[in-house]
Structure 1
Amino acid sequence: MKTKTVQIRKLVLGEGRPKIAVPITGKNLLEVADQAQKIINQRPDMIEWRLDFFTDVTNSEKVQIGARTLRKIIGETALLLTFRTQAEGGRMALNEDDYFRIMGEVIRQKLGDALDLELYHDEHRLEETLEHAHKNGIVVIMSSHNFAKTPSKDKIIAKLSSMSSMGGDIAKVAVMPNSSDDVLTLLQATREAAAKLSQPVITMSMGELGKISRIAGETFGSVVSFAAGTQPSAPGQIELKHLRQILEDLKLN
């Protein structure tokens, strides 16, 4: 099955080389703006605002100010908003009500072009949030992160398939390798899921051992690679300028 493409502003995911997303990890509005200015000068394909790094994330007014400030700085560059919970490797713990309140506010105010939703949350509330996002024209990346190990190939594919079935526009899985065989497992699962699903997939094997997965997306089917800008948001992220050159050197067409 041919993977369909997903458009976020002018960015098209699912064709050509993997696109490069860079996280903003500022703790306050000043740091967010400063990082955005430094990163946008390096011309990433997409900016990810990691809300779990932002100390005032539960203050909706400050989140709105941050999003508006980012838009002024990044212009037409695609903006992905992510709150990564502690259970999935993030910086801040939130209960279910606060998590979905923040997600709902992001959607209602249309603060970004795309939204990351973690699969492990309450299924009914996820479905409601997905529907709400789509009604407001926001692309949803459904995600799952395992910082302890790499599940079997079949389990990885099943998780990506579950995200697809729920209606996620893009399915994302990140896992931690404990051996080179684990990296191969992730890459094989990526290749098979990319061939099977109609939605684009994003996958990565984290840490130093898994770095090769961040540069092999065009070969195996992962449509986005996350690069380090001013500060990495996950183990194994490659600096933006180096990642861009590597992806260029490895291009298939």
Structure 2
Amino acid sequence: MTEIILTLESGTLSRLQDEIMEMRSVRDSFDIIEVRGDYFKDVNTLVRAIAMIRDSIDKPVLYTYRTEKEGGQGALLGEDYLYHLATIQKSIPVDYIDVEILQVSDPTIVEQLKRYSKVILSHHDFNGTPSDAVMTGIIDEMTAAKGDFYKIAYMPQTPEDVERVVAVLEQSKEKFGDIVTAISMGELGTKTRTSVEFPSRFTYGTLNEPQAPGQVNVAKLREIYGGTK
């Protein structure tokens, strides 16, 4: 079953308080809360933010630090990026953690992170959609690194790009089971976020402003996918 991840837009504690109120009013519309660490200015505030969420809403938390290279605001790369993820895990419990596969130089790092959280290995390109061979190659890298879940997200330039992402999703699900998420971003790729015909493991939604191109409101996603947790 597709689980709905609510991506928060907060980068301050005051904004988060407002979002928590909004989340409570639609709590049945999502399954997991995604906190974007790259939106926060310092780790202490970030840890307090995660604590506020955990104290307020009984939902699993996904921690994501999205780098600038993959469409986020985070400047940390390589060892600094991985050290940051480990620091968050040791500072406060997070149920899931997003790890950009291109930052993983040694698969044993993933093993270490899996001790504390389920790992979503990810790859994003906001400029285009790679070839089929590149997409499947990236998923093979994720397999070698032994993440719990795999996520790819690309910006389509044509409807054919969307169909190629869907095809890679279906092939990957046949090989690896229900652990793969494949998103074609923007308006062109909306069906990859909303179709029950070829569902991904996760779909990402929002309360208000989309935090990635093409994101859909979580209430609408719940209408489409059904189910509550």
TM-score by length of 2: 0.91
- Higher mean C-alpha displacement, 114-123 vs 148-157: 148-157
| CA offset digits 1:118-137 (Å, max 9, x no partner) | 0111412xx3432222223x
Q: In the alignment, is residue 194 of structure 1 matched against residue 173 of structure 2?
A: yes
The 5 A counterparts of 1:1-253 are: 16=1, 18-43=2-27, 44-56=30-42, 59=43, 61-75=44-58, 77-124=59-106, 127-136=107-116, 138-198=117-177, 200-216=179-195, 218-248=196-226
CA distance in 2, matches of 1:194, 1:99: 29
What is the distance in 1 between the residues matched to 2:24 and 2:118?
21
1:67 Cα offset (Å): 1.4
Unaligned runs of at least 5 residues, structure 2 = none
State the one-letter code of the partner of 2:10: G
Task: Say what the alpha-carbon RMSD is for the aligned residues.
Answer: 1.8
Structure 1 position 161, deviation (Å): 2.2
Alignment CA distance shift 1:197-1:224 (3 Å): same
How far did 1:36 drift? 2.7
Letter in 2 for 1:244: R
Question: What is the one-letter code of the residue matched to 1:72?
Answer: D
Identity of aligned residues (%): 28
Deviation of the 1:32 alpha carbon: 2.0
The superposition leaves residues 136-163 of structure 1 with CA deviations (integer Å, 9 ceiling, x where unpaired) of 3x10000000111111223212211211
For 2:209 and 2:109, the matched residues in 1 are separated by 30
Q: Please give the alpha-carbon distance, in whole angstroms, between the structure 2 residues aligned to 1:244 and 1:199.
A: 19
Instruction: Look up the equivalent residue of 2:56 and give its one-letter code.
Output: I
Consecutive unaligned residues of structure 1, counting only runs of 5 or more, are 1-15
CA contact (8 A) 2:119 2:149 kept: yes
Dislocated runs of 4+, deviation >6 Å: none
SS of equivalent residue, structure 1 residue 144: strand
TM-score of the superposition, structure 1-length normalised?
0.83
